[in-house]
Amino acid sequence: MRLDKAVSVGPIKFEKLLLIVVLLELLLGGNGYLTEIYGIRLRVWLAVLCMAFVAYRLVKRPSAGVQIEIWVLFFLFLAVTGFGTIIGLLNDSRTDAILNELKPLFYFPMLLFFAMAIRDEGNIARVTRLIVICGIAQAFAYLTVMALVHSGTIQYSTIYYTLKASDEFIFRDEGAAVYFGGFLYKGALHMCIAAIFLWFEPLWKNRILALVLMVAIVLTFTRGLVAALILTFAYSALLNVNRKTILALALALIALIVFGISIDLIGMMQRPVSDQVRLADLRTFLSEIDLTMLLIGDGLGAEIGQRERIEMTYVEILYKQGLIGLLFWLGLFLFNLGLYRRIKNAALRQQAFVFHLATFFVYVTTASNTFLTGSIGMAVVLISTVILMVLNKLDAGQSGRGVTARVPLRTSQ
């Protein structure tokens, strides 16, 4: 017995360490291009290692604690993606174009690893803390850079030419050395998730921290993130109607509006060129849509006009995978929502609430960015779905016992 126990402890410790490393790389690494090893992103190396670990666990113990719903989602993904690939090949899409679309989608099998590695409240608390800590670190780093540049301590050109070398950073004024209008680091999506988590913590000082993160988000001058954040708060009020929530949200929105007016937020967020490109993509889609495309799409790798990929993700999914592809991603969201709504225990439901809001945020911001179909947003949805399944299991075990679960995050501790 002791030998068996010793043998089992090793993989568990490795699994915990691997989960922490994967989360840190996801939460701080943007799209992962800052940490390439032999020309391959660290995120890819970690995913391969995780899949090898999943295979090892399945060989040792075929059930491996993975619920049947996880397997259903996994095989549905394989079926939908495989079908889209076949349609693309039949429609003579270029092989390299198909592979370029498949690469970010290949992160979906990480669902199996997350299902194995996140199994209890301790794991949920660890995930929550890492999301919040990494979000706070990003916000304060960004605000520090903004302060140093605007105070003249660091020249804007130094920041611009240092960061512009990477595709992870998008500058808002395209190098105009006269005025520094901020930049978007693609990992800012996780800063938004952290702001949501902090805002719905009971302690007011956590909400103050959330407002600091929101200021950093606004100062990236990224319309999609700001709009998605506002819509997420509106959605939260619909899910959890009470006077305190509505009052707190109203105060937050008033503060952001006043701040936005003071810095001419509307003017800074205008993107006429980007808007014209999106309108052209939409016109192309509407001019080419027919019944066949509506049902099954033109396949992965198909060009929309002269572009292989477009920012309006749901339009792209409908164009290339039809309603089959769109219904898969919509079904994943509805499954996530159903998991949240089934939880009865108040404390567990509070934990589930923020993870469902994180999923909603990713889905909303994906309307104008490719977050959901890439690792950066897909990971949030996969992890949230797994955690909601764990919370459902805990809720089923606690029903009728009057047990109150602890909330995983307390910045005062």
Q: Confirm whether 360 is domain-assigned.
A: yes
Other C-beta atoms lying within 10 Å of the C-beta of residue 220: 22
Q: Confirm whether 232 is domain-assigned.
A: no
Q: Confirm whether 248 is domain-assigned.
A: no
Helices (H), 91-120: 95-105, 110-117
Residue 304 binned pLDDT confidence (cut-offs 50, 70, 90): confident
By DSSP bridging, strand 40-41 and strand 169-171 are: unpaired
Distance CA 310, CA 287 (A): 16
Burial class (CB in 10 A: 0-12, 13-18, 19+), 9: exposed
Q: Confirm whether 403 is domain-assigned.
A: yes
* Range 37-65 average pLDDT: 86
Least trusted range by pLDDT, from 32-41, 57-66, 137-146, 341-350? 57-66
Q: Are residues 287 and 360 in the same domain?
A: yes
Q: Confirm whether 213 is domain-assigned.
A: no
Q: Is 201 left (phi over 0), alpha (psi -120 to 50) or beta?
A: beta
Q: Are residues 13 and 79 in the same domain?
A: no
317, 321, 324, 326: CA torsion to nearest 10: 0
Length of the chain: 413
Q: Confirm whether 247 is domain-assigned.
A: no
Residue 44 binned pLDDT confidence (cut-offs 50, 70, 90): very high
Q: Are residues 14 and 104 in the same domain?
A: no
8 Å CB contact between 37 and 29: no
In this structure, what are the phi and psi dihedrals at residue 171, rounded to the nearest 5 degrees? -90, 140
Q: Of 61, 90, 109, which residue is a domain's last?
A: 61
Q: What pLDDT does 197 receive?
A: 95
Q: Are residues 311 and 376 in the same domain?
A: yes
Q: Are residues 321 and 402 in the same domain?
A: yes
Q: Are residues 409 and 308 in the same domain?
A: yes
Q: Are residues 55 and 70 in the same domain?
A: no
Q: Confirm whether 241 is domain-assigned.
A: no
Q: Confirm whether 254 is domain-assigned.
A: no
Q: Are residues 20 and 102 in the same domain?
A: no
Q: What is the DSSP letter of 304?
A: B
Supply the range of the domain harboring residue 330: 65-117+270-413
> Does the pLDDT value for residue 273 go beyond 70?
no
Q: Are residues 37 and 101 in the same domain?
A: no
What is the total count of domains within the chain? 2
Query: Which tens digits make up the pLDDT trace of 230-260?
Result: 888 888 888 876 665 666 666 666 766 665 5
Q: Are residues 7 and 106 in the same domain?
A: no
Distance CA 275, CA 269 (A): 11
Residue 399 binned pLDDT confidence (cut-offs 50, 70, 90): low
Helices (H), 151-300: 156-163, 188-199, 204-218, 223-239, 243-262, 265-268, 272-288, 291-296
Q: Are residues 73 and 34 in the same domain?
A: no
Listed in sequence order, the residues at least 6 apart from 282 whose beta carbon sits closer than 8 Å to its beta carbon are 312, 315
- Owner of token pair 């936005």: 260
**Rounded-to-5 percentages of helix, strand, coil across the chain:** 70, 5, 25
8 Å CB contact between 68 and 76: no
Look at the pTM and tell me if it is higher than 0.85. Answer: yes
Q: Are residues 39 and 75 in the same domain?
A: no
